[in-house]
Chains A and B, each alone.
Chain A
Amino acid sequence: MSILIDENTRVIVQGITGRQASLHTKLMLEYGTKIVGGVTPGKGGLNVYGVPVYDYVEEAVKETRANASIIFVPAPYASDAIYEAINAKKYGLSLIVIITEHIPIHDSIKFINYGIFHNVKIIGPNTPGIIVPEKCKIGIMPARVFRKGCIGLVSRSGTLTYEIAYELYKHGYGVSTAIGLGGDPIIGIDMLEALLLFERDMDTRGVVLIGEIGGDMEERVAEYVYENGFSKPIIAFIAGRTAPPGRRMGHAGAIIIGDKGTVESKLKYFRKADISVVEKVSEIPILISQLI
């Protein structure tokens, strides 16, 4: 088992004829992901590495029976592509992975709400994607740092996820599923939702949370764990201990988030919830050997 995707997930690539998208289509195919179709308006009938290209999502989903989409469409056009994907829910599409970065926040706040309303799971925007080693990769992460194993990996960062997956790899540990939540302020699946998916996953014996300063996602996870407990060990890493303070969002930011968002706050909440926090990456495999 795994979370959200598995070896049967059938994927379409939106924006497939773009430079990054076609490169990663090739890499995902090589990994074994069932890439069944692609969409680029006006390019229907072509094929990319043997994958048929369609003009619109409904057509692609109906023809290929895809149930997931990965979006590479450039930011100014991404919103349109995402609504198109959400509206294909009635044809069976239920997961959207948004790789695109720099999508305006007023766009993402709308399509994220639209996705929630239509019960379509969204990962991202600005995510490296999701990977179940040896089974399925829907994303842009370098596959070779992910080994199959029993650790669930949830991360707010892209490249830092690769760093930590590689650290696990070097020490003989692997991941059940690794999910990058996306680096944007407004994202679909958040840290708590991912954690709860891992709680139900039989293949996951422990979870590594990779957080960073800003926002209060880590605090909300800690509050949940404090109140409800969690059946598997959790190890957390927070990036940004030395980071300069971020941009102040006027008084409004302070009113909404209070004292949360800083490294100190996140550490305090994790401590209260009895979640182990490591200071450097190399401590993660050591702690895994003790806890899991």
Chain B
Amino acid sequence: MSVEKREVEFFFVKNLDELKRHVFEIFSKNIAGYNIEEVLVEEMINIRSEIYLSFTIDRGERKYVFMASSIGGIDIENIAKEKPSRIIKIHIDPLIGLLEYQVRKALKKLSISDIHRENIRNIILKIYNIFIKYDCELVEINPLAISSDGRIYAVDAKIILDESALYRHRDLIKMVNYIFRKYSYVELDGDIGIMSNGAGLTMATMDTVKYFGGKPANFLDIGGGASADAVKNALKILLNKSNVKVILINILGGITRCDEVARGIIEAIDESGMKKPIIIRLMGTNEEEGVKILLNKENIIIVNNMEEAAKKAIKISRE
């Protein structure tokens, strides 16, 4: 579940009876419209110190980067701004991989005491191996806590997988219940449905609608080379969404074929039975065939310019 403002409430319990009481109480609650389905029970530990550890990809440097700080916890981003020297950043050449001296350097800079050094070294190597083995974009432990009785806990952690690499991690697909989708869709609160090909063009189409005073209802990018079937499934989302009054489709075919898109549009309208007005701008590969399919169809208006299309959609959304 994701709730905008999370109210965090902690319960500390000393025995099983207290635990049961609190758990029943939590289950009876309804928080921000959500019923409670699971309760996380964790061992209470007295934290002596917190460490930040992560492996991720530095796009600008085109390298892996290992980051660590002896000040872990929720303030890590402020520390990055205010005391950047407290964060150790070690770039790793992806063709060579993590080197032993880099780990040694990090341990030295973190001022890890001798008794924990071997343990933390092993943790660093393990999360690096996870980062590589599972094609991760990020593996982060924050904080890695050392308790007052000298034990080490990963109190919170985050892993982000690379969707493009999931094809070689069938086990993970099952674990995270991942569904392959051909399009990329984000809902917003406006009334003009937007469908386009390519993230940049989709965003520019939304920006244009906003510029002329309209409100985009979504971001929907059908990607490159979409089949009629993929277009149909994507468009049906907008046709069936109640707050969408009018749909603006902006397609510039390179690898995407306009005739495929046009066929998908007709199939979506036929299958859904919805009669929403659709403004469409179609240009590029197989444009003539595409336009021919859409010509003289009820509720479809063909225009030949993005800004024109945006203005027309806004006008209809206000009728």
Contact check, B253 vs A243: say whether CB atoms are below 8 A apart: no
Query: Known contacts A102-B164, A105-B165, A110-B94; is A243 also within 8 Å of B307 by CB?
Result: no
Summed over the interface, the residue pairs from A and B with CB atoms below 8 Å come to a total of 191
Query: Known contacts A109-B62, A215-B60, A258-B81; is A159 also within 8 Å of B197 by CB?
Result: yes
Contact check, A113 vs B95: say whether CB atoms are below 8 A apart: yes
A138 to chain B, nearest CB (A): 13
Contact check, B59 vs A212: say whether CB atoms are below 8 A apart: no
8 A Cβ contacts from B125-183 to A: 132, 135, 137-138, 140, 142, 158, 160, 162, 164-165, 167-168
Tell whether A81 is near chain B: CB-to-CB under 8 Å: no
Query: What is the CA–CA distance of A240 and B94 in the complex, to the nearest angstrom?
Result: 31
Interface size range of chain B in the complex: 35 or more
Closest residue of chain A to B188, judged by CB?
Answer: A244
Query: Known contacts A113-B95, A157-B200; is A101 also within 8 Å of B206 by CB?
Result: no
Contact check, B54 vs A250: say whether CB atoms are below 8 A apart: yes
Contact check, B165 vs A281: say whether CB atoms are below 8 A apart: no
B162 proximity list for chain A (CB < 8 A): 104-106
Contact check, A251 vs B140: say whether CB atoms are below 8 A apart: yes
B256 proximity list for chain A (CB < 8 A): 159
B307 to chain A, nearest CB (A): 6
Query: Known contacts A140-B255, A215-B59; is A163 also within 8 Å of B307 by CB?
Result: no
B218 to chain A, nearest CB (A): 9
Tell whether B273 is near chain A: CB-to-CB under 8 Å: no
8 A Cβ contacts from B186-220 to A: 186, 188, 196-201, 203-204, 206-211, 216, 219
Contact check, A105 vs B219: say whether CB atoms are below 8 A apart: no
A228-266: CB near B (< 8 Å → 1, else 0) gives 000000000101111110010111111110100000000
Interface size range of chain A in the complex: 35 or more
8 A Cβ contacts from B91-142 to A: 93-95, 132, 135, 137-138, 140, 142
Contact check, B254 vs A159: say whether CB atoms are below 8 A apart: yes
Tell whether B57 is near chain A: CB-to-CB under 8 Å: yes
Q: Which of B137, B158, B252 contacts A142 (CB 8 A)?
A: B252
Query: Known contacts A105-B57, A243-B206, A250-B160; is A166 also within 8 Å of B283 by CB?
Result: yes
Binding site for B on A (CB under 8 A): 20, 24, 75-76, 99, 101-107, 109-110, 112-114, 116-117, 128, 140-142, 145, 155-163, 166, 183, 185-186, 210, 212-213, 215-217, 220, 237, 239-244, 247, 249-256, 258, 279-282
**17 other contacts beyond A249-B137, A255-B77, with CB at 8 A cut-off?**
A76-B168, A99-B255, A101-B223, A105-B164, A106-B162, A142-B253, A158-B200, A160-B201, A160-B203, A162-B254, A183-B200, A239-B203, A242-B206, A250-B54, A252-B65, A279-B207, A281-B204
